[in-house]
Amino acid sequence: MKYIVCYSGGHSSALVAIEAVRKYGKENVILLNHNISSKVEHHDIKRFKQEVADYLEIEITYANMKDFEQMTPIDIALKINGFQIMPGSAFCTYNLKTKPFYKYLEDNCQDKENFTILYGFDAEETDRIERKKDVMRAKGYKVEFPIAKWERTILDTKEIGIEKPTTYRIFKHANCIGCLKAGRQHWYVVYCLRRDIFDQAMQAEEIIGHSIIGDILLKDLIPIYEDVKSMGICPNDRQNGSSFWANVNRNIPEQMSFIPCDCALF
């Protein structure tokens, strides 16, 4: 049996990789990654996933979209003339990750009984777990969810001397900067810290004729974002969204120091 870790470069997938090697042995574990353009995948995510792989003494296996380094989520949206297949499901995810993943399985895992796929969902993500079970079992593959279901041997990569990607100071996940599935809070961070991506996304909205967020164009959010910046709100996507905007709406400067401003220095 071989165990394929869906190795995104995020902290959860790293923990899955470590648990899998400790349980099944490194010779039976495959770290399957979809390398994303360095324009939108932060260099420290690339550092992190390589350090974990080195610790495990496993070479990363890449299943990449053709010309992946040149293609950002916005580039894919412009090529396809759309942002999302349906709410929460973006064309970029399908082309950069899902399609190459299925192609890898098709080319390398024909004997499906000998492969189990490991995902980094946690115990609270019950809906995602059940959906993934249904999808992959329909394709004939076994699945496991180590973080949600196994007895844990590690909770943080700091335990093995590896720091999380610095992006976790700001973002909840190791997704692309300028995620096409994200909302206003994420795009506020992009507006403040990666104006090049924000401007490209605005131009894409104009060309495609649709909003990325769904209910408002990015250009119409600029006055709001400028007001938020004037209140001293540090760009951060980690805080609960309702709490973040409740603080903004109260517009009381002395209550706006809940996030240290050096959190944006990554």
Q: Kindly report, residue by residue over 123-182, the tens digit of the pLDDT.
A: 999 999 999 999 999 999 999 999 999 999 999 999 999 999 998 888 888 888 999 988
DSSP states of 228-251 as a string?
HHHTTPPP-SSS-HHHHHHHHHHT
Mean residue pLDDT across the chain: 88
Q: What are the pLDDT digits (tens) for 195-228?
A: 999 999 999 999 999 999 888 999 999 998 998 8
Q: What are the pLDDT digits (tens) for 14-45?
A: 999 999 999 999 999 999 999 988 999 999 99
**231 contacts 258 by C-beta, under 8 angstroms:** no
Nearest to 142 by CA among 120, 172, 160, 116: 116
Q: Exposure of 169 by Cβ count < 10 A (0-12 exposed, 13-18 middle, 19+ buried)?
A: middle
Supply 188's token pair: 């506020």
Nearest to 208 by CA among 235, 172, 184, 180: 180
Q: Could you tell me where in the chain the CATH 3.40.50.620 domains are found? A: 2-160
The rounded distance, in Å, linking the Cα atoms of 178 and 74 is 8
The listed CATH number (3.70.10.10, 3.40.50.620, 3.40.228.10, 3.40.1410.10) that belongs to domain 2-160: 3.40.50.620
pTM, two decimals, is: 0.86
